[in-house]
Amino acid sequence: MHAKTDSEVTSLAPSSPTRSPRRPVYYVQSPSRDSHDGEKTTTSFHSTPVISPMGSPPHSHSSMGRHSRESSSSRFSGSLKPGSRKISPNDAPSRGAHRKGNKQWKECDVIEEEGLLEDEEREQGLPRRCYVLAFVLGFFLLFSLFSLILWGASRPQKPKIAMKSIRFEQFKIQAGSDFTGVATDMITMNSTVKMIYRNTGTFFGVHVTSTPLDLSYAQITIASGTMKKFHQSRKSQTSLTVIVIGNKVPLYGSGASLSSSTGTTSLPVSLKLSFVVRSRAYVLGKLVKPKFYKKIECDVTFDPKKLNVPISLKKACTYD
């Protein structure tokens, strides 16, 4: 079998070891066309005469075998079985290219798989972002609605202020001069104002401040007092006392009817007490903080006969 597949050498020289004056002629059958596509190979043989370079008789079988092997390996190959593929030196690059192609296909497969994974992550990530955004928006809407409800519930629960009384400890009028040296009547007085502050809120406390308590005569402020800041807890009340004083306040022409030889007035004097109370509630921290304003004006009549006697203000004040 190997002799048929590896070499198709036919010698026409006589097989006898006797010498002959004629040179031996050899015929080598080589394939005329090879198929390199790996499919069924059709091989045809042609006879080519080869003249031996030397006329020595074929007594050396080793040289003949070596020549046959070299010619068979270099010139042709044996017949191939159906379905088999002939191996040639040109196959090495094709194999390398095949391996390189396989590697590229593997890389393409990896890239495609990564792309598919990224697409799946995008498809899965988009709804998650939507859910998060919807949750945040829903939370803010609910929180805003809750804050609005608290604000609306706190508005009707306004603080209440009740003026109790005012007492004059000193009321004196004397001649003097202002800071420019103009001679005029000067008034000095000292009084105490009492009131009650009540927080009606059921679920919040309030911080309370006030403008100065001004006591005026003929649109001239003759005394003033300051209320201290304080905090009032829910559903509670407290009593407040504010001292309103004035020291040598010039009256100019308004004090002509009040002056007397005794240094005090003998007639009742109409005065006006006015101030504004500001209340701020922190219902939900600093996010919901309703404010309440209360403007209070009281008409007070000073009677020289009632010095150091509390004068009731229950029916003498207006609240706006």
- Give the pLDDT band (50/70/90) at residue 13: very low
Asked if the model's pLDDT at residue 25 lies above 50, the reply is yes
Q: Can you give the C-alpha Rg of the chain in angstroms?
A: 62
How large is the average pLDDT for residues 83-107? Answer: 50
- CA 209, 214, 215, 218 torsion: positive or negative? negative
d(CA 120, CA 114): 10
How far, in Å, are 24, 176, 192, 222, 271 from residue 244 at the CA level? Answer: 153, 22, 6, 10, 13
CA-based diameter of the chain, in Å? 185
Asked if the model's pLDDT at residue 58 lies above 80, the reply is no
What DSSP string describes 12-42? -S-SS----SSPPEEEEEEES----SSS---
- Give the pLDDT band (50/70/90) at residue 80: very low
Classified as helix, coil or strand, 317 is strand
Query: Which of the 8 DSSP states describes residue 289?
Result: -
Asked if the model's pLDDT at residue 112 lies above 60, the reply is no
Contacts of 305 (CB under 8 A, 6+ apart): none
DSSP H helices in 10-157: 61-75, 91-154
Classified as helix, coil or strand, 282 is coil
Centre a 10 Å sphere on the Cβ of residue 144 and count the other Cβ atoms it contains.
Answer: 11
Residue 78's pLDDT is what?
A: 45
Q: Which carries the bigger pLDDT value, residue 133 or residue 164?
A: 164
Q: Which carries the bigger pLDDT value, residue 312 or residue 73?
A: 312
Rounded mean pLDDT of the chain? Answer: 74
Which of the given ranges, 44-53, 103-112, 193-202, 303-312, has the highest pLDDT on average? 193-202
Residue 108's pLDDT is what?
A: 54
Q: How confident is the model over 236-284, as pLDDT tens digits?
A: 999 999 999 999 999 887 776 777 667 778 788 999 999 999 999 988 8
How far, in Å, are 19, 138, 150, 280, 317 from residue 145 at the CA level? Answer: 125, 10, 9, 21, 39
Query: Quick check: pTM over 0.85?
Result: no
Asked if the model's pLDDT at residue 201 lies above 80, the reply is yes
Residue 294's pLDDT is what?
A: 95
